Structure 1
Amino acid sequence: MAGNEFPHASLLRAVLFDRDGTLVVDVPYNGDPGMVRPFPGARRALDGLRSLGLATGVLSNQSGIARGILTAEEVAGVNARVEELLGPFDVWEVCPHSAEDRCGCRKPAPGMIHSACSRLGIDPSEAAFIGDIGSDIEAARAAGARGVLVPTPLTRNEEVAAAGEVAADLEQAVAMLLRGPE
């Protein structure tokens, strides 16, 4: 399935992504599908994973729902637009809670990664999670998945320093995953 070019791809069964700031440009509390703008190379990176038979998923904190800024329907509309632009995902997980709710799903908690892996029928050790902030990498570590940080100008220096693996963009992050652990 993976071929000789990517010897570690067979150890990896799914790549999960943060939505805002990772797959698409972060528009705070976005409820408008028309404002969705994928990052350059996102579709190529996803299509490459899909061509290798790897599952893909999106895990997104959406505290705007708990705060009354967004509805679940608006988030679903934005997610549908993401999928329209970037292709089909095997699993979506959305945490509608605020940090004050202290739920088990909101990143940096591992709940969404555990749920996504359960739905995919895999162990978290067979998954990787790519995100743009420290809580994404903390969630991956807590779940037992591999985490790769793709910083944006909003990513704090200490988050970059604490991340085990850092990539310049999504395509480089996917290439790192396919090469295997550092």
Structure 2
Amino acid sequence: MHTENEIKVLGIDLKKAEEKLLDLGFKRTEEITYRRYVYDVVPVNPNAWIRLRTNGKKTTLTFKESLKDSVDGMKEIEVIVDNFDETNEFLKAIGHEPRNYQENSRVNFEGMNCTISLDSWPQIPPYMEIEADNADDVNKCLEALSELVTSDTTSLSTEEVYKRYGIDLSSIKELRFDKVAA
């Protein structure tokens, strides 16, 4: 299983974050809108889930498990699949009904051996995700961006981020920018 080395910086100002990244020499690489389904694993484990995600160009199916709230606390196994809708139908056919559907937008930057994502999600303030091949690089980027850390940092799942804002993401069947369906 692959270790994801990442940390989220909650409650960021998108404009200030982009300016700081560009000042530090980061290159803006892409702007993405993601669509995803989230499924429970069997047996249900509140710290593990299956994610089917697409940006319209690349679709992945991922098993994720949050072992601890640390830079190296998320484990994952990810495979590329070729069709978002058919993979969802396949998962449903083998007994995995989606827990919910989610959308978010992301602007990615590359620099200092890190990928920085500025993430926007419905109903919560934007956050920055810092990811690298190792925890040392994540921590170096976090230090370089320390003036942007005005709130909280975490390596836990997006569902846990929503809980910090008093929202139970698992109770929202469809999380979209244009509407939220319970």
TM-score, normalised by the number of residues in structure 1: 0.27
Q: Which structure has more strand as a fraction of its residues? A: 2
Q: Which structure has more helix as a fraction of its residues? A: 1
More relative contact order in 1 or in 2 (CA 8 Å, sep 6+)? 2
The structure with the larger Rg is 2
TM-score, normalised by the number of residues in structure 2: 0.27
